């Protein structure tokens, strides 16, 4: 019965308490309670409610029923039908929210079973991973996170998904300091993200995020650019910064190609240091990938960069093409087609990831990524959201925000 105005609801009468306890008994009746190997343990509402409302051992004297223990729901999600408590949240999500109609509850009664539609619509659902969070138990689990970590080893850092100009609120989950992996084989995972979940924000994303956010560990976990380069040759960081400063100082018609993945703080630092000196070109660091949903009417936006609106707000309208007579181009971030640089122009390139283009620049400077700093993005609707730092700055890498100040001045002397 839905709540209504003036309705009085008794939540703690003896009858309610007895029925609630009985319902908890029913839910756990055929539930495997294999919490020890269940990724949901620690954030499982069934565990919590059992503790709160029942707490007792099973009163059943009959063997538990069995169902499919491991069903490949899609290439992203596994389903454990024994843990499923048949709440149909996942089914209703695909019906009412993502509208893929990808999941259904087949059959009836206690042998009802969650299954994907045979037309493969669930695998194509760009929001499918939300069912993992919606599932009150560990019946729907992310393959990427399967048996990776107990959730109490992890902490959640509030952040903003950079996947498109919606800028959905997300929690980035990574290992707590006290639970760092020690073995050399596993230690690299300490600096990576383990999973991503949405932060509810009615003004931006409601309670959902799309699958792209879930894949941020992969996007941000790409191999990094390890150090500064002069035309591909390793160079000391300080020398590279001085060289970049000199190239900018010497240029007659310098141009900056600005990253739409830059935070508002970075953009402000850039403007303060170099704003008047360089002509500005705005860049889309990322374009829609083949097979990616370009835009829909739930969350996904066509501009696959988090801060194009921030660029406009901080720097005003920028050009879209590098002027033909530019004699120095400062390229900030990914996704730039270097063929647009005039043949005689010098190139200073700021990038975070390992890429062949890094070696083509006259000066290459490795910069930090979102998880190594905090800041703000402004989304397409003008809502500004903050993201927090997850990890320390790796050695040999600069924050662009700090760097810009050092790029002002004359000559190669300090």
Partner 1 sequence: MRHLIPEFERMKERFPEGFDSSLVLPCLHRIQADRGYVAEEDIVGLCEYLSVPRIQVEEVLSYYTMLRREGIGKTHLQVCRNIACSMRGAEGVIEHACKRLGVKPGETTADGKFTLSTVECLGSCGTAPVLMVNDAYHENMTLEKLDALIADLSAGGGNS
Partner 2 sequence: MPGRQLIMDFEVTPTSHTLADYKARGGYETLVKALGMAPADITKEVTASGLLGHGGAAFPVGRKWGVMKPNPGEIHYLCANADEGEPGTFKDRWILEHAPHLLVESMLITSYALGVRHAFVYIRGEFDLPCRRIQGAVDEAYAAGLLGKPVPGSDFTLDIVVYRGAGSYVCGEASGLITSIEGRKPYPRNRPPRLTVKGLFQKPTVINNVESLANITGIIRMGAEEFRKVGTAKSPGTQLISISGHIAKPGVYEVEYGYSWAKFLDEDCGGMLHGAKMKCVVPGGISTKVLTRPEIENLTLSHESVNPAGSGLGSGGMIVIAEGTCMVRLLQVLLRFYHHESCGQCTPCREGMGWMHRIIDRIVAGEGLPEDIERLYAISHANDGTTICGMGDAAGFATVGILNKFRDEFEYWIANKRSKMDGRLECRA
Interface residues with partner 1 (CB under 8 A) are 101-108, 115-119, 121
Q: Which does 292 bind (CB under 5 to 8 A by kind): ligand SF4, partner 1, partner 2, none?
A: none
Q: Which does 17 bind (CB under 5 to 8 A by kind): partner 1, ligand SF4, partner 2, none?
A: none
- Closest CB 51 distance from partner 2, rounded Å: 18
Number of Cβ atoms within 10 Å of the Cβ of 195: 22
> What DSSP string describes 134-156?
H-SSTTEEEGGGTTT--GGGEEE
Q: Which does 121 bind (CB under 5 to 8 A by kind): partner 2, ligand SF4, partner 1, none?
A: partner 1
Reported in sequence order, the residue ranges of 37-92 that DSSP labels E, i.e. its strands, are: 71-72, 77-79
- Do 283 and 315 meet the contact criterion of CB atoms below 8 Å apart? no
Q: In what order do the strands lie in the sheet with 169-175?
A: 154-160, 169-175, 195-198
User: Which residue, 134 or 219, is less far from ligand SF4 as judged by CB?
Assistant: 134
User: Which residue, 77 or 347, is less far from partner 1 as judged by CB?
Assistant: 77
- Do 283 and 312 meet the contact criterion of CB atoms below 8 Å apart? no
Number of Cβ atoms within 10 Å of the Cβ of 283: 25
Q: Which does 12 bind (CB under 5 to 8 A by kind): ligand SF4, partner 2, partner 1, none?
A: none
What are the phi and psi torsion angles at 113 (to 5°)? -145, 135
- Closest CB 368 distance from partner 2, rounded Å: 50
User: Which residue, 19 or 150, is less far from partner 2 as judged by CB?
Assistant: 19
User: Which residue, 113 or 123, is less far from partner 2 as judged by CB?
Assistant: 113
Residues that bind ligand SF4 in the complex, under the rule CB under 6 A: 31-35, 38, 40-41, 44, 46-47, 83-90, 114, 134-140
Token pair recorded at residue 116: 């994907």
Distance from C-alpha of 152 to C-alpha of 111, rounded to nearest angstrom: 33
User: Which residue, 41 or 123, is less far from partner 1 as judged by CB?
Assistant: 123
Q: Which does 61 bind (CB under 5 to 8 A by kind): partner 2, ligand SF4, partner 1, none?
A: partner 2
Reported in sequence order, the residue ranges of 239-319 that DSSP labels E, i.e. its strands, are: 254-259, 279-283
- Closest CB 76 distance from partner 1, rounded Å: 18
- Scored b (16 or more CB within 10 A) or e, 118-156 reads eeebbbebbbbbbbbbbbbbbbbbbebbeeebebebbbb
Number of Cβ atoms within 10 Å of the Cβ of 172: 27
Residues that bind partner 2 in the complex, under the rule CB under 8 A: 1-2, 4, 18-19, 22-23, 25-27, 29-30, 59-62, 65, 85-86, 88, 105, 107-112
Hunting for tokens 């066509």 — which residue is that?
302
User: Which residue, 110 or 287, is less far from ligand SF4 as judged by CB?
Assistant: 110
What are the phi and psi torsion angles at 271 (to 5°)? -65, -45
Hunting for tokens 């720097």 — which residue is that?
315
Number of Cβ atoms within 10 Å of the Cβ of 177: 7
Q: Which does 340 bind (CB under 5 to 8 A by kind): partner 1, ligand SF4, partner 2, none?
A: none
User: Which residue, 99 or 360, is less far from ligand SF4 as judged by CB?
Assistant: 99
Q: Which does 35 bind (CB under 5 to 8 A by kind): partner 1, ligand SF4, partner 2, none?
A: ligand SF4
- Closest CB 166 distance from partner 2, rounded Å: 32
User: Which residue, 72 or 238, is less far from ligand SF4 as judged by CB?
Assistant: 72
What are the phi and psi torsion angles at 42 (to 5°)? 100, -25
- Closest CB 75 distance from partner 2, rounded Å: 28
- Closest CB 109 distance from partner 2, rounded Å: 4
């Amino acid at each position: 019965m839905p709540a209504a105005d003036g309705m009085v609801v008794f939540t703690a009468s003896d009858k309610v308490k007895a029925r609630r306890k009985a319902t908890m008994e029913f839910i756990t009746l055929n539930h495997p309670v294999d919490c020890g190997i269940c990724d949901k343990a620690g954030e499982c509402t069934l565990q919590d409610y059992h503790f709160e409302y029942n707490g007792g051992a099973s009163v059943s004297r009959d063997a538990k029923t069995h169902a499919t223990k491991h069903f490949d729901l899609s290439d992203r999600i596994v389903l454990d039908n024994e843990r499923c408590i048949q709440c149909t949240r996942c089914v209703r999500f695909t019906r009412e929210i993502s509208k893929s109609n990808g999941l259904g509850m087949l059959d009836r009664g206690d042998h009802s079973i969650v299954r994907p539609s045979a037309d493969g619509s669930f695998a194509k659902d760009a929001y499918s991973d939300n069912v993992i969070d919606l599932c009150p138990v560990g019946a729907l689990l992310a393959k990427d996170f399967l048996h990776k970590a107990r959730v109490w080893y992890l902490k959640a850092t509030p952040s903003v998904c950079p996947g498109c100009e919606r800028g959905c609120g997300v929690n980035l989950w990574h290992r707590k300091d006290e639970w760092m992996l020690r073995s050399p084989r596993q230690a690299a995972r300490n600096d990576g993200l383990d999973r991503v979940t949405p932060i509810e924000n009615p003004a931006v994303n409601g309670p959902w995020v799309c699958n792209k956010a879930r894949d941020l560990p992969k996007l941000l976990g790409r191999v990094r650019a390890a150090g500064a380069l002069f035309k591909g040759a390793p160079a000391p960081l300080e020398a590279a910064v001085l060289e970049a400063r000199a190239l900018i100082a010497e240029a007659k018609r310098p141009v900056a190609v600005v990253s739409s993945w830059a935070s508002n703080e970075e953009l402000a630092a850039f403007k303060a240091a170099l704003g008047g000196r360089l002509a500005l070109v705005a860049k889309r660091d990322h374009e829609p990938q083949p097979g990616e949903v370009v835009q829909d009417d739930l969350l996904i936006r066509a501009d696959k960069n988090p801060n194009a609106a921030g660029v406009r707000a901080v720097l005003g309208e920028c050009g879209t093409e590098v002027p033909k007579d530019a004699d120095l181009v400062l390229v900030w971030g990914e996704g730039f087609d270097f063929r647009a640089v005039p043949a005689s122009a010098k190139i200073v390139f700021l990038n975070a990831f390992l890429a062949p283009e890094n070696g083509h620049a006259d000066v290459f400077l490795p910069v930090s990524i979102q998880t190594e700093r905090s800041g703000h993005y402004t989304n397409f609707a003008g809502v500004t959201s903050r993201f927090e730092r997850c990890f320390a700055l790796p050695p040999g890498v600069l924050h662009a925000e700090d760097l810009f100040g050092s790029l002002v001045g004359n000559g190669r002397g300090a």
